[in-house]
Amino acid sequence: NANKPLGPQINYTITGIDAGAGIMTSTDKALKVYGLADKNWQLQPSSTAAMTSTLKKAIADKRPIVVTGWTPHWMFTKFPLKFLKDPKNVYGKTEQIHTIVRKGLKQDDPQAYQVLDHFHWTPKEISSVMLAVNNGQDPANAAKDFVKKHAKQVAEWTKGVSHVSGHPKLTLTYIAWDSEIASTNVVATVLRQVGYKVTIRAMEPQPVWASVATKAADAQVSAWLPKTAAKLYADYKNQVVDLGVNMDGARVGLAVPKYMKNINSIEDLKK
Ligand code: PBE
């Protein structure tokens, strides 16, 4: 019912994802900055899988729902979603994904360092790998296919890089979000082609940063900045090396189905 206030219709609840995600920290902040916390709005933690399944059901019934949303992600292609305007700029306009490596990698593994430094792609490219995985392909195979089909681009990442001998070990840590499953597998594939024995390890966001800071891992390509991972970046930036952007044009915020015509801004949740 478009005339009824939204809050009571959805129990003043925003459907979120895993508690450690940056988008959850940003949404807690949004609840305060927009005065929603005072009006009993709350953020429900769950997981990406649970959130997208709740979203799918709501959309099937044309019910209202507010979720934590981001791109690149297939939720925006599978569902008719729109981002809510964020006039107080809690989530930022666009986000960039950065590559973070351990101190000393440049000296210890210059070839790996170069590949990681050159690694750069677009939302469209990462989405193609994410879609393949979402359609059931094994992430390692989806990454191999991508690398095969994008030989020219991969040649850019490996420009001036020579093959290493003796299979030196490298560890990449990542957070098991669809985008990071895609990027980490693609980078691992390229590093393996260069001769490294690469292990990839999924963990929670904080341990991913800690692993690179303590040199238990060599690199991670999952740092959504400047806003989403701001807290972890601030905590660890002096103990790691930021190689800069590997993907530009990501976006994070609150999202609703397009049929919620009266809700276009986070401010509108108070209506
Ligand atoms: N995400 C996807 C992450 C980064 C990648 C938006 C769910 C987050 O920290 O919120």
Residues in contact with 260: Cβ distance below 8 Å, sequence separation at least 6, in sequence order? 6, 64
Q: Among 14, 47, 70, say which to mutate for ligand 1: greatest number of ligand atoms within 8 Å of CB.
A: 70
Q: How far separated are the first and last CA of the chain, in Å rounded?
A: 13
Nearest-angstrom CA–CA distance, 7 and 184: 39
What spacing in Å lies between the alpha carbon of 166 and ligand 1's midpoint? Answer: 36
Q: Among 174, 232, 252, say which to mutate for ligand 1: greatest number of ligand atoms within 8 Å of CB.
A: 252
Domain assignment present for 161: yes
User: Is there a single domain that holds both residue 52 and residue 131?
Assistant: no
Nearest-angstrom CA–CA distance, 130 and 137: 9
User: Count of domains in the chain?
Assistant: 2
Q: Binning pLDDT at 50, 70 and 90, where does residue 271 land? A: confident
Instruction: Read off the CATH number of the domain in which 103 is found.
Output: 3.10.105.10
ipTM value, please give it. 0.94
Ligand 1 closest atom vs CA 26: 10
What spacing in Å lies between the alpha carbon of 101 and ligand 1's midpoint? Answer: 19
User: Is there a single domain that holds both residue 81 and residue 104?
Assistant: no
What spacing in Å lies between the alpha carbon of 161 and ligand 1's midpoint? Answer: 31
pTM of the model: 0.93
User: Is there a single domain that holds both residue 108 and residue 28?
Assistant: no
What spacing in Å lies between the alpha carbon of 39 and ligand 1's midpoint? Answer: 26
Measured at the alpha carbon of residue 36, what is the angle toward residues 32 and 39, in degrees to the nearest 5?
125
Using one digit for the tens of pLDDT, what is the confidence trace for 138-182? 999 999 999 999 999 999 999 999 999 999 999 999 999 999 999
Domain assignment present for 170: yes
Ligand 1 closest atom vs CA 224: 4
Residues 116, 187 contacting (CB under 8 angstroms): yes
User: Is there a single domain that holds both residue 261 and residue 216?
Assistant: no
Convert 7-25 to b/e letters by CB count within 10 Å (16 or more is b): beebebebbbbbebbbbbb
User: Is there a single domain that holds both residue 230 and residue 162?
Assistant: yes
Instruction: Read off the CATH number of the domain in which 14 is found.
Output: 3.40.190.100
User: Is there a single domain that holds both residue 134 and residue 38?
Assistant: no
Residue 1 predicted with pLDDT over 60: no
Average pLDDT rounded to a whole number, residues 92-110: 97
What spacing in Å lies between the alpha carbon of 149 and ligand 1's midpoint? Answer: 27
C-alpha dist (Å) from residue 62 to 50, 85, 102 = 18, 21, 47
User: Is there a single domain that holds both residue 83 and residue 142?
Assistant: no
Residues 15, 54 contacting (CB under 8 angstroms): yes
Amino acid at 108: D
Q: Among 90, 227, 228, 233, say which to mutate for ligand 1: greatest number of ligand atoms within 8 Å of CB.
A: 228
What spacing in Å lies between the alpha carbon of 31 and ligand 1's midpoint? Answer: 18
User: Is there a single domain that holds both residue 187 and residue 210?
Assistant: yes
Residue 215 predicted with pLDDT over 80: yes
What spacing in Å lies between the alpha carbon of 18 and ligand 1's midpoint? Answer: 9
Nearest-angstrom CA–CA distance, 93 and 80: 20
Domain assignment present for 1: no
Tokens at 234, concatenated: 């601030």
Boundaries of domain holding 55: 6-93+252-270
Nearest-angstrom CA–CA distance, 68 and 81: 11
Ligand 1 closest atom vs CA 20: 9
Share of the chain above pLDDT 90, in %: 97
User: Is there a single domain that holds both residue 241 and residue 116?
Assistant: yes
User: Is there a single domain that holds both residue 215 and residue 114?
Assistant: yes
Q: What is the mean pLDDT of the chain?
A: 96
Residue whose token pair is 């008719």? 80
> In sequence order, what DSSP letters do the residues of the chain get, joined into one string?
-TTS-HHHHTTTEEE---TTSHHHHHHHHHHHHTT-GGGT-EEE---HHHHHHHHHHHHHTT----EEEEESSTHHHHS-EEEPB-TT-SS-S-EEEEEEEETTHHHH-HHHHHHHHH--B-HHHHHHHHHHHHTT--HHHHHHHHHHHTHHHHHHHTTTPPPPSS--EEEEEE--SHHHHHHHHHHHHHHHHTT-EEEEEE--HHHHHHHHHTTSSSEEEEEEETTTTHHHHHHHGGGEEEEEEEEEEEEEEEEEETT-TT--BGGGGG-
Ligand 1 — pocket residues by CB below 6 A? 17, 21-23, 70, 177, 179, 224, 228-229, 252
What spacing in Å lies between the alpha carbon of 2 and ligand 1's midpoint? Answer: 31
User: Is there a single domain that holds both residue 126 and residue 209?
Assistant: yes
Nearest-angstrom CA–CA distance, 270 and 184: 39
User: Is there a single domain that holds both residue 115 and residue 209?
Assistant: yes
Tell me what pLDDT residue 65 has.
98
Please report how many Cα atoms fall inside a 13 Å half-sphere around the Cα of residue 133, on the Cβ side.
Answer: 25
Ligand 1 closest atom vs CA 180: 5
